[in-house]
């Protein structure tokens, strides 16, 4: 164990990052202190700046610095189309594809009873108000294809059922370039369930 309490504190802080265990935290801490103190200062400054300036978009709940994020503020986006995602990272992934031109709503997580995450800890109340107060024609539920993601999607679908809108989910199944013999059973089952016309 290190004799420096400050190094031990840094290692513990780094372990808060996803996928960082004790060894990786130690390696990062030692690297920053031994070889790259300037980068350590840059990280600390950027983190402090983000903590002070980043907030949630008043409309879609993603991270931004003003009242509205750039997507919600853009007049070029389709205001009648709403895509519900779990996290800001999911929003970024969809944006990078460039195939979707509507607006978003970020739940900031997914339902997980085992971890104590129920509907009240996510953005469902804000999503309900957003749909009620705007002329939304279609809601695309784009949660992850996991047990928790499916439960979250089911809950969102039930919550939105009283509204006279189309609720869709992302198609799932065989990926482009995939070979059937290498697909797992769940993926193949989803592909058959979500099959479409060959026209």
pLDDT tens for residues 28-53?
Answer: 999 999 988 999 999 999 999 999 99
Predicted pLDDT of residue 157:
94
pLDDT of residue 199: 56
**What's residue 67's pLDDT?**
95
Sheet with strand 102-106: strands edge to edge: 102-106, 78-85, 138-141, 166-169
**pTM value surpassing 0.75:** yes
Q: Do residues 138 and 123 make contact, with C-beta atoms less than 8 angstroms apart? A: no
Q: What is the rounded distance in angstroms from the CA atom of residue 191 to the CA atom of residue 11?
A: 44
First to last CA, the chain: 65
**Nearest alpha-carbon partner for 190 in 146, 140, 156, 127:** 146
Render 69-129 in DSSP notation, one character per residue. -HHHH-TTSEEEEEEEESSHHHHHHHHHHT---EEEEE-SS--BGGGTB-GGGTTHHHHHH
Q: Which residues contact 173 (CB under 8 A, 6 or more apart)?
A: 187, 188, 190, 191, 192, 193, 194, 195
Q: Which domains does the chain have, with CATH numbers?
A: 76-171+181-193 (3.40.1360.10)
Q: Which residues of the chain have pLDDT under 70?
A: 1-3, 174, 180, 196-199
Helices 147-160/124-133 angle, 10° precision:
40
Do 85 and 100 contact (CB within 8 A), yes or no? no
């Amino acid at each position: 164990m290190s004799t420096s309490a400050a190094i031990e504190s840094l290692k513990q802080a780094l372990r808060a990052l996803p996928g960082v265990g004790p060894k990786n935290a130690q390696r990062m801490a030692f690297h920053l202190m031994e070889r790259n103190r300037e980068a350590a200062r840059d990280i600390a400054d950027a983190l402090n700046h983000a903590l002070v300036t980043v907030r949630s978009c008043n409309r879609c709940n993603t991270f931004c610095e003003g009242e509205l994020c750039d997507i919600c503020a853009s007049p070029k986006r389709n205001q009648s189309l709403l895509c519900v995602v779990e996290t800001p990272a999911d929003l970024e992934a969809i944006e990078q594809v460039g195939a979707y031109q509507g607006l978003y709503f970020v739940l900031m997580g997914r339902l997980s009873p085992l971890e104590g995450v129920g509907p009240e800890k996510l953005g469902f109340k804000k999503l309900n108000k957003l749909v009620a107060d705007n002329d939304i024609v279609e809601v695309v539920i784009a949660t992850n294809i996991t047990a928790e993601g499916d439960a979250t999607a089911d809950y969102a679908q039930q919550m939105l059922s009283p509204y006279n809108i189309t609720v869709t989910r992302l198609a799932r199944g065989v990926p482009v370039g995939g070979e059937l013999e290498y697909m797992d059973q769940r993926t193949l089952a989803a592909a058959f369930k979500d099959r479409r016309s060959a026209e």
